[in-house]
Each structure stands twice: as C-alpha cells, then as structure tokens.
Amino acid sequence: MNSSNNETRQEGYGNMHGNSVIQAYGNHFFSAFDISLDQIVEHVPTEILTLRKEKVMIEDLLRLVDDTLLHIVFQASANPDDLDRLLDRLMEYDLKIYEKHERLISTIVVFGPEINNAELSRDLGAIKYKITEAVWLSRWNGDQIIEGINGDSELKDEELSMLVMLPFMNTKVSRFQRAMESVQIAKQLFDEEKREKVIKIMVAMAGKLLSDAEHDQFVQALRKQDYP
C-alpha cells in the first residue's frame, strides 16, 4: 500500500476495520486461547511515523495494569515474503511505539487460518527481537470447539471470543459454511446486544484474517443469513 507523507494508514495487510475481538473482549479473548496476561486497563491507539516517513495508526495497542504496553497484530498472508517482512515491520513499529510512550512493549501475533508456522524471533547480533506470544488459528480444532458452544445458553465472554473466531480455525468444512453455522449460533443468543456484537466483530475479523477475495466471499455468505 502506497501512502503519501500526509496520509495515515492502518497497520497490517488488506482491508482493516475499526473493530477487533481484542477491543471487544479484552482479557477474556486471551484466556480463551490459553494466554496468561495482566489486566488490560486502557486502549491506546497510537499514530507512529515510520522510517519511510509514512504515518501508521497502531489500532490494537493496550496498556496493562503494570503500565506496560501490549501490541496486537493480525497476520493474514501466508506468503513467505510477507511473513519475512512481518518481523522487520514489528521491530520498527515497536521501536516507534516505544519512542512515543517510553514503556516496555509485549507483542502478540494472531496468525490467520492459512499460516501453520512462521519465524517468531530474529537475532541480528546487537539487535534481537522476539514476538512474545502467538495465536495459531490453524492449530485450533474448530470442528471440536463448535460442538461445545450452544447459543441457547448464556455464553461467557471467553466462549463468545471463540464463537467469533470459529470461522478462522482449522475445520473439515468450508470456511464459509462454518461462518454461517457460527452466525446461526449467534442468532440464538438471548441478549440482542451480544448477538449483534458477535456478528459485527466476526465480519471485522474476516477483514483482518482473510485475503480480500476470501473476505468478499465471507460477507456474501453472511448475507445469505440475512446479515447485515
């Protein structure tokens, strides 16, 4: 993506949306994916200026109770070149975030369904970088998880986080069939606000975790379910 010096672009590849499962469910999302984390206390989106003088908005940046920062990144592309550039990008972005806030930073990457493995650290001698934690959606068995989620019951935020992410996990059915099944479960939720929130964030996550073509198919699949 090309950007002039006067434009601000959002971090990441492909279409980006203003909502994320992290902002919606916070610590409950990380608990659902077995990541232990200090309490999130504040959402601190931050604009940085890259070495190429491009303005980038870091949307999923959070302050924890210990006054450190947590940087969340969603990686959709499984292209080896994109995965290689990911670490270079994160090193630069985290440095720029530190320059703005002067707080320690942890970084968690949520890898999309097409990514089975990726480099998580880089050692350049004097310069060392390591992704703190990774969520590998391709390693989570969506077929097994969906059996334990019942929209007729009062789902907790951990379960709602899982429901949102179901279409992006490993599955034997098509991703779009799983999306429609997930929406049907969401429609069974008693709480209308929770129901709308789950579906809205599911669409937003498709923009972060799928290619542009897959995202368009995903939205079309949801429209078959009369949403939006």
Look at strands 40-43 and 61-64 and give their pairing: antiparallel
Residues of the chain with pLDDT under 70: 1-18, 151-152, 224-228
- Tell me if 1 is assigned to some domain: no
Residue 59's pLDDT is 92
Between CA 184 and CA 190, with CA 186 as vertex, the angle to 5 degrees is 120
Please tell me the predicted confidence (pLDDT) of residue 154. 81
Express each pLDDT in 172-213 by its tens digit: 998 888 988 988 898 888 888 888 899 889 989 998 998 888
Q: What share of the chain is helix, strand, coil (3-state, %, to 5)?
A: 45, 20, 40
- Does the residue 104 lie in any domain? yes
pLDDT at 7: 37
Q: How far is CA 203 from CA 16, 29, 157, 211, in A?
A: 11, 17, 18, 13
Note whether residue 32 is domain-resident. Answer: yes
**Distance (Å, whole) CA 193 – CA 177:** 24
Q: How many CA atoms, within 13 angstroms, populate the side-chain half-sphere of residue 74?
A: 28
In total, the chain counts a number of residues equal to 228
Per-residue confidence (pLDDT) for residue 176, from 0 to 100: 85
Residues 166, 145: Cα–Cα separation, whole Å:
8
Range of the domain at 215: 8-223
What the block records as the tokens of 188 is 């069974």
Please, is 124 exposed, middle or buried when counting C-beta atoms within 10 Å of its C-beta (0-12, 13-18, 19+)? exposed
Whether residue 2 is contained in a domain is answered as no
57 located within any domain: yes
pLDDT at 94: 97
Q: Tell which phi-psi region holds residue 126, choosing left (phi > 0), alpha (psi between -120 and 50) or beta.
A: alpha
Number of domains in the chain: 1
Q: State the pLDDT at residue 188.
A: 87
Task: Measure the CA–CA gap between 197 and 186, rounded to whole angstroms.
Answer: 9
CA dist., res. 47 & res. 81, Å (int): 25
Please tell me the predicted confidence (pLDDT) of residue 189: 86
**In the prediction, which pLDDT does 195 show?**
86
Does 123 reside within a domain?
yes
Sign of CA dihedral 30, 157, 150, 216: negative
Asked, for residue 127, whether it belongs to a domain, the answer is yes
Whether residue 206 lies inside any domain: the answer is: yes
Q: How far apart are CA 66 and CA 115, in angstroms?
A: 32
